Amino acid sequence: MSISGVKHFLSVGAKRLNPFSLQAIVACVFCVGWLVAFHSQAQSADPLKATGFLIAGDANRTRVVIDFNQKPEFSVRYLQDPNRTIVDIPSDVSFEFPAENAAAAGLYTLVRYGAMSAGHTRIVLTSDAPSSLEFSKVEADSSGSFRLVLEGVKTTEEKLSALVHADDWDGVHTTQAGRGGRLGGPATQESTNAFVIAVDAGHGGIDTGAISRDGKTIEKDITLAFAQELADEFNARPGFKAFLTRSDDVFLSLSERVRIARQNGANLMISLHADTLRQSFIRGATVYTISEKASDRLAAELAQRENVSDEIAGVVPDDTAAEASDILIDLTRRETQAFSERLAKMIVATFEGQIRLINNPHRHAGFHVLRAPDVPSLLIELGFLSNKEDEKLLTEESYRKQVSGLIVDATDHYKALIGQ
Ligand SMILES: [Zn+2]
């Protein structure tokens, strides 16, 4: 089995770096970024493809078989709360089987797969009952392809807990490296006078976000297209410098998004989303700011759903951005919140009469992605994929341009108002 060889891949976690040592971070980002780029390039000649997915079994034993065109390397780890089996593959994988083949079955209540970052793919099997793999192996078949076989069985809480703790794994196996490269590095000297905006495309990679009823429109694609447009609009406006937290289809944990914004000296973070609601008649945009207490039930439910992103991807939440016993941090946080509120109101006012808004379009909830203590942060629900009209609009370039233009106008006003 090829577990040991991949244990150390991409294990550069920002957690291990002194957060104040920017130089160390930059050096690391670039050197590992180069390694990752090299690694992906070496593989791109003959990409790894997953061509088939089979899941069968019952509540005690379930087998998952994934067909590959080449022999995949993989490693297995476990997490609890909820119970998850995590299979990491140290390569890019193109998933070419129909998504419905990988619907949850037997022991597993949720199956997710996708990119964590360049050169790192993950499969997450979630189960209600504690479960582990009795065995996992790669078999060659006569047609020259390979089969990854994962034999899941029900186990006890104690046994699963022992497996979780057998690994000194912190769960954060995404890499900062590839991202650093794509960000174009931290804010540069000449940009220090610019108003820096982190544009955050919600979801990505293994975390698809919401999916429209017919399965055709996927939130992570909508948010990325919007984020690119919004960053372009900002960068075309003098005095602004925008960067993307992700510029392709990779997963970013919520705390990584916050960290990327802070490390790049953002004056503002805008996170973009397009979720679904049970009430398909609800449509229009909403602007969210953070608060411990949600403004209403819809806001609370949405935040709860957004906050499971890390869980879906098998990432252990990192609470470093949330520690706030220090009174200075508390003060900063309050001030930051006031700025966020002010901008949210201005964006809503700019949207009014121009694009459709939901009732009470400025709402509050405990979104983890908005918790940077020192960077005013907003989450914009651009519309809802559960509504047909909104879904159509969200896929249109003209709508992307219009909404982005309005956000930039409002931010320009805000910037003038706070004297920057
Ligand atoms: Zn979302």
Q: Is 41 helix (H, G, I), strand (E, B) or coil?
A: helix
Pick the CATH number of 48-167 from 2.60.40.3500, 3.40.50.1100, 3.30.450.90, 3.70.10.10: 2.60.40.3500
Ligand 1 center to 219 CA (angstroms): 7
- Asked if 200 and 368 count as a contact pair (C-beta separation under 8 A), the reply is no
Domain locations in the chain as residue ranges: 3-45, 48-167, 179-417
Q: Is 43 helix (H, G, I), strand (E, B) or coil?
A: helix
Task: Give the environment of ion ligand 1: residues with CB less than 5 A.
Answer: 202, 209, 273, 275
Whole-model pTM: value is 0.71
Q: Which residues have C-beta within 8 Å of that of residue 361, sequence separation ≥ 6?
A: 284, 285, 286, 287, 348, 351
- The rounded distance, in Å, linking the Cα atoms of 26 and 263 is 10
| pLDDT one digit per residue (tens) for the chain, 420 residues | 333 333 333 333 333 334 334 444 444 444 444 444 444 444 446 889 999 999 999 999 999 999 999 999 999 999 888 899 999 999 999 999 988 899 999 999 999 999 888 899 999 999 999 999 988 989 888 888 999 999 999 999 999 988 888 765 544 433 333 333 333 333 333 445 799 999 999 999 999 999 998 889 999 999 999 999 999 999 999 999 999 999 999 999 999 999 999 988 999 999 999 999 989 999 999 999 999 899 999 999 999 989 888 888 887 766 554 555 567 777 788 889 999 999 999 999 999 999 999 999 999 999 999 988 889 999 999 999 999 999 999 999 999 999 999 999 999 999 988 877
- In Å, how far are 22, 23, 328 from 19, measured between CA atoms? 7, 10, 18
Ligand 1 center to 386 CA (angstroms): 12
Where b means 16+ CB within 10 Å and e means fewer, 114-145 reads: bbbbbbbbbbbbbbeebbbbeebebeeeeeeb
Ligand 1 center to 301 CA (angstroms): 12
Q: What is the CATH number of domain 179-417?
A: 3.40.630.40
User: How many C-beta neighbours within 10 Å does residue 412 have?
Assistant: 18
User: How many C-beta neighbours within 10 Å does residue 283 have?
Assistant: 19
Ligand 1 center to 220 CA (angstroms): 8
Ligand 1 center to 302 CA (angstroms): 8
- The rounded distance, in Å, linking the Cα atoms of 310 and 255 is 9
